[in-house]
Amino acid sequence: MDVRAELTEFLSEATGDRIEPDEDYFAKGLVNSLFALELVTFVERRFGLVVEVEDLDLDHFRTIDRLTEFVRVKTAA
């Protein structure tokens, strides 16, 4: 399974909704700031990366597309 598909599955299961790749699930109220911590933990564990303090910009995590790009950049580094 690719990064985008895994993120889509995780977020869809967590919210109970189908999430589109460019949908801002924070702005739509599908998730909250507490869920952001769960999302960071999932990304770190699933993709074997460390989300540094300077990476904790909500813009990296707002949409599946942005989060997919973030994971790709971090895993390529």
Q: How many helical (H) and strand (E) elements, i.e. helices and strands, does the chain have?
A: 3, 0
Q: pLDDT tens across 7-46, in order?
A: 999 999 999 999 999 999 999 999 988 999 999 999 999 9
- Retrieve residue 22's tokens: 């460019």
In the predicted structure, residue 49 carries a pLDDT above the cut 90 = yes
Identity at 36, one-letter amino acid code: A
pTM above 0.85? yes
Question: Would you give the distance in Å from CA 77 to the centre of its chain?
Answer: 18
For the domain that residue 11 is a member of, what is the CATH number? 1.10.1200.10
The number of folded domains in the chain is: 1
The domain of 21 spans: 3-76
